[in-house]
Every structure is written in structure tokens, then in C-alpha cells.
Chain A
């Protein structure tokens, strides 16, 4: 399965870009609930909007440099998206400079916003260091002229079901500390990026979500519904072979009316240094 999340680009304006992605039933980034249709992981929507914004930047700088996302003010998950859905994507680029960018974006199903990314920013890296610029340019042309159909393309599904790894410490409901080593053969590295493989931030976010499920002792990933992530920032890449520790802490579940809500803070640690931090807000549905 390719780690490419834009099927077609449908419009480019001054500081705006739109497109769509059809999430196939075979998409590995999905969670299967007790009953009902499988849901697309919220990280997949983030990746789709982020990749769309990347295409805008790449076109503007003539495929010289690719954006690398480093921080976001907030990501709001407003509605679940089910596999099989066509998700419309749009992004607004707030600033685009030689070395930095900022954008916001949305994922919509049937005209309703399902997920919103607010004020995401980062820096640029030379595209040739990451992938073949000619291949990227051709892919862009193809996306703009009817779409690039890659769904169901050959390749192993990435190991999405268990991203947590080894549990090092666990205080149920309050804290979990886990460690996972990213194997060089993880399939997402083939596209992210061919010449400079790094673990996508959205996979790290999903790893944090899955660790939180384990922290709470829930039986299924779908028992924890992400509502928002705020003040997320990554300071270093997670490369193939890197060991990454996840530390999630929380004051515990709080009840608001009939809802059970959880605020958690998560950090990722690599080589003893904190490389990611964010605040996560969930609803517990189990």
C-alpha cells in the first residue's frame, strides 16, 4: 500500500488548493469497531490534507523543495470518516517563504467538515534530497489531469494494528511508557521518502493514540475517539532503525454529562531527548 494520500488535485488558486482522496476498504490506516463500518484513522486525514498542501508548495517553488511539517496549533476531529468514503480536501497556505510555510486545511465528506488542521507550519528541505524531483513533477501533472489512481497498488500493508511496541511502565489510567523500534522495512518508508526515509508524524500520532488505549486498559482502539490535538511540535526525525519511547500521562477520565473525556499529554523520546510533544483530547466510548 502506497503512502500517498491525494488521488486528484481539483483546483489551485492564489494560496489555495483542493483535491480529494478515496479511502479504500483495504486502507491499512483504519480501526475496526465492535459494530458498524471501519473508520479511517484521523491521522490519515491529516496526512491527506498535509500532502495536498505540500503539492501547492512544490508547484510554487518549481519542485525545488518539499515542506516538512513541524508543528500545528490544533487538529480538530469533528466527525468519523468510514472506509470507502471519498474525502474532499482543501488547504489554505497562509505564508510561503524560501525556508518556511504555514497552512490550514480541512477534510470533508459530503460537504461536511470532518477534520480541520489549524495553523500548521514547518520548513523546507531540498526535494532532490528526499525524492526524484522529476518523478514528483510528473506525479503532480497526473494528479492535476484526472487523478493518480494508486488505491490497491501492490505493496505490503504497513503494520498499523500495533504501533505501541514494548510496554516499559504502566500506571493504569494515568501513565504509560512504551518503546518501539521502527524497522527499516516499514512499507511507508518507500514513499516517505524514497531518498530520505523518515517516519510520518501521523504514524507517530497514531502510535500515541494506541498507547493511550493501552494506558486506559480499553479493549479496542475504537473505544477511544480522538477529538483534538493541540500544540503539537516535532523537533527531530524518526528514521528507520530508531527506537522511540512514547510517554503518555493523564489526570484520568473525567465525566461531563453522559460523556467520558480524557485529556492527555504525550511525549516521544529518542536518544534521551524529547522530540515530540502534544496535548491530546479524546472521548472514551467504551
Chain B
């Protein structure tokens, strides 16, 4: 089964939602009734389902990129530069959702089912990379 299908099933289970409604573009809070507490539950379930470790606060950290804390947000409100980074970081979220003056604590309101699928896929790719690299490091030449 594809990653997105497995993520959809996990989210539907965690939110007691009909699988049909858990589309890749569905927004967890607005469309599926998720609350902040559900995010932790979903993260744990995804980690178990895919046997991975999802870094906490990853989106904000990655979105900040080279920006300093002050350049990313002022008094909790995300700057234009910060929003621009967030848009790049979260391509699955419609551009219109990145409204001016978005507060840091409102970032989870942007999360779609696709956001979690992307996070999982990135982590799976990363772990494959680590495993390949670690195999390469420890490989013994045959000849």
C-alpha cells in the first residue's frame, strides 16, 4: 500500500473519521475536527505504523531555515519572509492558507493529510539514506 493510503488510514482511525473524508487535501483541524492533542496521537501512530521517528517541531525549524528567530517571527507573528519559507516547506497546503500575521501557534491549522504523508515519506527516505550510508561505511570489500 502507498504511503499516502497508509497515512490516510492512520488518521481516519485516530480521528474516528470516515476514510472517504480523509483525503490528501483535507485540513485536519478545519475539515476533520482534529484538536492539537490529536496531532501527538497521530504522530505516535504514524511512528508505529512506519517504524520511524518523526522529529517534533520539524516544520517550524525547517521553515526557519537560515532565518534568525526574529526574522522568522515577531511577537509570535510569522513575518513575510517566514511565510514565504513555510509555503516552500509545505507545498501541499494551498497558498491562500498562508495568511499575513499568521501566529506560530496557528501553524498546525495548516496541516493537511498530505502534510503528514510528506513528513513520513521524507523520514522514510532519510532513513533509507542513513541505512545505505551506514551499510556502505561498514561494508567489507569482497576482493
Contact = CB atoms under 8 A, between A and B. Distances in A.
Interface string B46-75: 001000000010000000000000000000
Interface of B: 13-14, 16, 35, 37-38, 40-41, 43-44, 48, 56
Interface of A: 70-71, 97, 99-100, 102, 119, 121-123, 231, 233, 235, 277
Given A231-B13, A235-B35, A102 B44 contact: yes
Nearest to A231: B13
B39 to A, nearest CB: 10
Q: Taking each of B13, B16, B44, B56, which has the highest tally of chain A beta carbons within 10 Å of its own beta carbon?
A: B44
A100 B40 contact: yes
A97 B56 CA distance: 9
Contacts of A231: 13
B56 A233 contact: no
B48 A70 contact: no
Contacts of A235: 35, 37-38
Nearest to A267: B16
A233 B41 contact: yes
B16 A70 contact: no
Overall SS of chain B's interface: helix
A233 B44 CA distance: 13
Given A100-B40, A123-B37, A235-B37, 19 more contacts: A70-B37, A70-B41, A71-B41, A71-B44, A97-B56, A99-B56, A100-B43, A100-B44, A100-B56, A119-B48, A121-B40, A121-B44, A122-B40, A231-B13, A233-B37, A233-B38, A233-B41, A235-B35, A277-B16
24 contacts: A70-B37, A70-B40, A70-B41, A71-B41, A71-B44, A97-B56, A99-B56, A100-B40, A100-B43, A100-B44, A100-B56, A102-B44, A119-B48, A121-B41, A121-B44, A122-B40, A123-B37, A123-B40, A231-B13, A233-B14, A233-B38, A235-B35, A235-B38, A277-B16
Nearest to B16: A277
Q: Taking each of B13, B40, B48, which has the highest tally of chain A beta carbons within 10 Å of its own beta carbon?
A: B40
A97 B14 CA distance: 21
> What 7 pairs across the A-B complex have the smallest Cβ distances?
A235-B37, A71-B41, A121-B44, A235-B35, A100-B40, A70-B37, A102-B44
Contacts of A119: 44, 48
A233 to B, nearest CB: 6
Nearest to A279: B16
A235 B14 CA distance: 12
A99 B36 CA distance: 13
A161 B22 CA distance: 42
